[in-house]
Amino acid sequence: MSTKTSFLKNKRLLIPAALVVVGLLMSFHRPIMGLIAPATLDLKIQHQPVIMPALYKVYANENALEGKYSLFKMLVTNNSGNVAKNVEVSYQIPNYIEWKQVAKIKTILPGQSVVVNCYPSFPDKIVEKTTTSKEQVNIKVSGPNISEAEESFAIDIKGRNEFMYTCIPSDEIRTSAEIFDNMALLSCYVTPEDPIIKYYTQKVQEKVLKGEDASVGNKEQEGVRFLTGIYYSTLVSHMVYSGTSGVPAKIDDVSSIIQSIRLPREVITGKTGLCIELSLLYASILMDAGLDPVIYLIPGHAYPGFKMNGKYYAIEATGIGGEGIGGRSTPEQALQTGMKNLDEFFQRASQGDDRYMLVDIRESINQGALAMELKDDNFLRQKVDEIAQAFGDNYQANNYNAQPVNYENNGGGNDNNGNADPNGYQNYTGIVNFAYPASWRAMPHNPQSMPQLKSIISNSGNTAYVEIYQFNGYNSTSQAIQSIQQYVSNQFGGNMQYTSGGQTASGYEIISGKTTVGNQGIYWKAAFKSTGNGIAGIATGANFSTGSNYESTVNNIINSLR
Amino acid sequence: MKKILIILFSLFNAYASPAQQQVEGMKQVFDVTLDELGNANVEVSMKLNASQWDMFKKNLGTNTSILKREMEKALPKYYLSDFNYSEDAMERSYKMKFKVAGLAGLNGKDAWEAKLESKNPDITKLSDKEFVMNATYMNNGMLIQQTQKIHLPSGASGAKIEKDSFGKAVLTFTTSGAIMPRVITYAGILLVLVGCWLLYKNSKPKSPLQVAPKSAMAA
């Protein structure tokens, strides 16, 4: 009897006990399964070919330049049948960054992939590094129920002065621009916040320019005076042009020139610089003074300038040359050369030559390409003081005031009142030859525009323009005009009306017309003639809103056709 | 996800010169289909007019890998794979498909979330599993009107737009696969509680009043 009672009692307890056991198994199924069969993760890593210390702020910022400069990008895929929980991804670069967690992933389901991007915060001291070293990046993936995985890769950490022009693998390079894909990062070498640069800028403003208000008043003439003032400062301090190393290197599957770039403070105190270094120095000073610096890059060369009110200015900073390499240009000559180069720059760029690149420093900085932190240095300040003594002794800045004004007047073209002065014109030479107001600028070419539209030159407000066309294989002017008409209709839903207006002395057939799109439109004149390959010519006009302001300008352009 | 919208512009943008004012922009439609594991299958399809097709072919030529490269350059944070391009030249249309690994991830609440990388996206919920996001951009003077259709997995529920700590929009939703482990855990806890209660109840000795009649009968 007692045995039966005990059995019944045990039976009554058996079911609840089983429920408890099953419940515990269900509650703790994850750690239990982790002990029995841990999840296995598959790792796929892509990493930077090198680390350039000057870019350490870019590497740290996941929003900089769309985040493309991560130290590594890792695809973590759970290839097992178990859920991976609380997966931690850590990395370490011995001597630079201690073990640091880059991501903690709560859950990775079987078959799921997660992308981890690493944006490392290098210590500021990395900018004191002057030589290249081979370092190791260690990555650890761990978690309570996964098989711990460790990966590592070697990477070159360059010296702070070394700059690699591209990080695109050589077999992926398609255009000239891609050979210089890192050019937006040049702004990392523009150091307006460097105490030494600030000190130097103050000296230029005080001793050379005797005060300036280019950024305050947004005056182009004053900006040009500043530009020539910087040149004058480098000239009288006997700064000279000199080369630095630029060596081709192959790192993994990337081939690039690695250029040694001296920092602006080193250029000032060393009194020597390469074209790109001088450009970075100018950009640093201009930026410190509140202007918008730009650097123009052309094959084998670079020169600085600034933009203001939609206009661009340039100076040939290497005009300082040196007695050993053929003499030195005056500030006027350097400015003239710079502006002449600038014309060629825009012409080439407008023709789609992607070797002609413009680095807008402020734009690059806005994208996160920030300059390195540099400490103040009393010795360097003393050097600046010594250099600045030369400014006072030789100050002749008044002589340089007029030249930029003259340039602007030459280019003025009387945009505001429309009474174009033919003397203020410059020549366009190409598939057609004509003259246009010298202040007008070629607009960047867009390869997706109408294929026959080769170039556009416009005034600063983009209210008046000249378009250069070439219609290969076309037989007549009317065929060309109809082609444009069709394009305007298809592309913009616009309407084009025109009438024939006779011929110029040089054999161009004149067409006058207007194009309307919605409530807006333009009055224009076009001139085309037959060439060996087809039809070529120009269309020039101005928006309705300008009234008759540009009538004489348009006639001058048409009459200048040769 | 917003980034997907703005790629490919350079291959299509038409030039609005000062002489020509555009009235309507180019329209692009993106289909983004998320699977049960947070990966996205993206399909870009466009039908172009004669002029646009000329430009597109002139730029692309026969090297369709340019599209892949442009896409990878535009989305450096993601892993893209399984590219496929097809076109119907007679109809001046093309399709491009590719896969984005891990576009959506599981958050701490076992819900999927996909970052839209925009503070105030123009997004409309069509159903529990479909959203439409509209965006308009100016690119070199050309108006680009884009429509992005987001299709959630068949098992998705509770989809909504939330904000992350930076105020940017985040699309969140749950799937049965994602919440199942939690359901099992909760069910286990419930079983333990029920089992404990039964153990307690059954282990208590029965009261004498209930036992007495049995004794009396036996006597």
B131-143 pLDDT per residue, tens: 898 877 655 545 6
User: Whats the size of chain A, residue-wise?
Assistant: 562
| Best residue in A109, A116, A167, A354 for a mutation probing chain B (most B CBs within 10 Å) | A109
Q: For A392, what's the count of Cα atoms within 13 Å in the CB-facing half-sphere?
A: 8
CB contact (8 A) between residue A112 and residue B37: yes
Cβ atoms within 10 Å of A47's Cβ, excluding its own:
18
Q: Taking each helix axis from N to C terminus, what angle separates A275-288 and A220-236, rounded to the nearest 10 degrees? A: 130
Cβ atoms within 10 Å of A496's Cβ, excluding its own:
21
CB contact (8 A) between residue B18 and residue A463: yes
Paired strand residues for A162:
A260
Q: Count the helices and strands in chain A (H runs, E runs).
A: 15, 26
Nearest CA in chain B to A111: B37
Among left, alpha and beta (phi > 0; psi -120 to 50; other), residue A154 is beta
Rounded to a whole number of angstroms, the distance from the CA of A464 to the nearest CA of chain B is 7
In chain A, how long is the greatest CA-to-CA distance?
133
Rounded to a whole number of angstroms, the distance from the CA of B161 to the nearest CA of chain A is 21
User: Closest to A26 (Cβ–Cβ): which among B19, B58, B191?
Assistant: B191
pLDDT of residue B23: 40
CA-to-CA distance for A42 and A51, rounded, in angstroms? Answer: 26
Cβ atoms within 10 Å of A518's Cβ, excluding its own:
12
Work out the mean pLDDT of chain B and round it to a whole number: 75
pLDDT of residue B7: 37
Rounded to a whole number of angstroms, the distance from the CA of A15 to the nearest CA of chain B is 8
Per-residue pLDDT, averaged over B156-180, amounts to 79
Contact between residue A426 and residue A451 where contact means Cβ atoms under 8 Å apart:
no
CA-to-CA distance for B44 and B7, rounded, in angstroms? Answer: 11
**Which class for A277: exposed (0-12), middle (13-18), buried (19 or more C-beta within 10 A)?**
buried
Rounded to a whole number of angstroms, the distance from the CA of B70 to the nearest CA of chain A is 11
CA-to-CA distance for A235 and A271, rounded, in angstroms? Answer: 10
User: Closest to A446 (Cβ–Cβ): which among B39, B140, B203?
Assistant: B140
Residues in chain B within 8 Å Cβ distance of A518: 21, 23
CA-to-CA distance for A279 and A275, rounded, in angstroms? Answer: 6
CA-to-CA distance for A187 and A371, rounded, in angstroms? Answer: 7
- Contact partners, residue A496, CB within 8 Å, separation at least 6: A484, A485, A488, A489, A513, A514, A515, A516
User: Closest to B20 (Cβ–Cβ): which among A29, A446, A488?
Assistant: A488
Evaluate if residue B10 carries a pLDDT over 50: no
Question: Can you read off the two tokens belonging to residue A146?
Answer: 């996964």
**Which class for B98: exposed (0-12), middle (13-18), buried (19 or more C-beta within 10 A)?**
buried
CA-to-CA distance for B103 and A396, rounded, in angstroms? Answer: 62
Paired strand residues for B113:
B105, B172
- Contact partners, residue A235, CB within 8 Å, separation at least 6: A320, A328, A330, A331
Q: Please report where in the chains the tokens 């002029």 appear, as a residue.
A: B51
Q: Does B180 touch chain A (CB under 8 A)?
A: no
Q: Which residue has the higher pLDDT, A464 or B61?
A: A464
pTM for the whole structure:
0.68
Q: Please report where in the chains the tokens 């602007």 appear, as a residue.
A: A408
CA-to-CA distance for A335 and A3, rounded, in angstroms? Answer: 113
CB contact (8 A) between residue A465 and residue B17: yes
Per-residue pLDDT, averaged over B168-173, amounts to 84
Q: Please report where in the chains the tokens 């026959």 appear, as a residue.
A: A452
Residues in chain B within 8 Å Cβ distance of A490: 49-51
Per-residue pLDDT of chain A (562 residues; tens, 9 = 90+): 455 556 556 677 788 888 888 888 777 766 666 566 678 899 999 999 899 999 999 999 988 888 889 999 999 999 888 888 899 999 999 999 999 999 999 889 889 999 999 999 999 889 889 899 999 999 999 998 888 889 999 999 999 999 999 888 888 887 777 888 898 899 999 999 999 999 999 999 988 888 888 888 888 888 888 999 999 999 888 888 877 766 777 877 887 888 889 999 999 999 998 999 999 999 999 999 999 999 999 988 999 999 887 788 999 999 888 666 667 788 888 888 898 888 888 878 777 788 888 899 998 999 899 998 899 999 999 999 999 888 865 545 444 443 332 333 333 333 333 333 345 778 887 788 888 888 888 776 665 577 788 888 888 777 888 998 888 878 788 888 888 887 777 777 778 888 877 777 778 888 888 888 777 788 888 999 888 778 889 999 988 877 777 888 888 888 888 7
Rounded to a whole number of angstroms, the distance from the CA of A554 to the nearest CA of chain B is 13
Q: Does B207 touch chain A (CB under 8 A)?
A: no
CA distances from A217 to A220, A315, A331, A332 (A): 9, 21, 23, 23
Per-residue pLDDT, averaged over B57-75, amounts to 82
Residues in chain A within 8 Å Cβ distance of B190: 23
Q: Taking each helix axis from N to C terminus, what angle separates A378-394 and A220-236, rounded to the nearest 10 degrees? A: 100
Among left, alpha and beta (phi > 0; psi -120 to 50; other), residue B61 is left
- Contact partners, residue A217, CB within 8 Å, separation at least 6: none
CB contact (8 A) between residue A465 and residue B191: no
DSSP A320: G
pLDDT of residue B151: 92
User: Whats the size of chain B, residue-wise?
Assistant: 219
Q: Please report where in the chains the tokens 């590497």 appear, as a residue.
A: A59
Q: Does B64 touch chain A (CB under 8 A)?
A: no
Rounded to a whole number of angstroms, the distance from the CA of B79 to the nearest CA of chain A is 7
Judged by DSSP in three states, A147 sits in coil
pLDDT of residue A473: 79
Rounded to a whole number of angstroms, the distance from the CA of A317 to the nearest CA of chain B is 32
CA-to-CA distance for B101 and B153, rounded, in angstroms? Answer: 15
pLDDT of residue A5: 58
CA-to-CA distance for B84 and A114, rounded, in angstroms? Answer: 23
The full DSSP string for B49-77 is: -HHHHHHHHHHHTT-THHHHHHHHHH-TT
User: Closest to B184 (Cβ–Cβ): which among A29, A458, A494?
Assistant: A29
DSSP A208: I
Nearest CA in chain A to B15: A449
CB contact (8 A) between residue B188 and residue A462: no
CA-to-CA distance for A313 and A285, rounded, in angstroms? Answer: 15
Q: Does B138 touch chain A (CB under 8 A)?
A: no
Q: Does B53 touch chain A (CB under 8 A)?
A: no
Rounded to a whole number of angstroms, the distance from the CA of A111 to the nearest CA of chain B is 7
Residues in chain B within 8 Å Cβ distance of A20: 191-192, 195-196, 199
CA distances from B30 to A365, A525, B43, B46, B97 (A): 31, 42, 6, 9, 10
User: Closest to A451 (Cβ–Cβ): which among B37, B58, B110?
Assistant: B58
pLDDT of residue B22: 39
First-last CA distance in chain A: 127
pLDDT of residue A75: 95
Contact between residue A331 and residue A231 where contact means Cβ atoms under 8 Å apart:
yes
Per-residue pLDDT, averaged over B192-208, amounts to 77
**Closest among A304, A310, A311, A301 to A338, alpha carbons compared:** A304
Question: Can you read off the two tokens belonging to residue A258?
Answer: 């690695």
CB contact (8 A) between residue B192 and residue A117: no
User: Closest to B189 (Cβ–Cβ): which among A23, A492, A539?
Assistant: A23
User: Closest to A113 (Cβ–Cβ): which among B39, B52, B54?
Assistant: B39
CA-to-CA distance for A456 and A541, rounded, in angstroms? Answer: 12
Cβ atoms within 10 Å of A57's Cβ, excluding its own:
19
Q: Please report where in the chains the tokens 């030459």 appear, as a residue.
A: A410
- Contact partners, residue A324, CB within 8 Å, separation at least 6: A240
In chain B, how long is the greatest CA-to-CA distance?
118
Nearest CA in chain B to A85: B108
Cβ atoms within 10 Å of A217's Cβ, excluding its own:
11
For residue A161, the Cα-to-chain-centroid distance in whole angstroms is 19
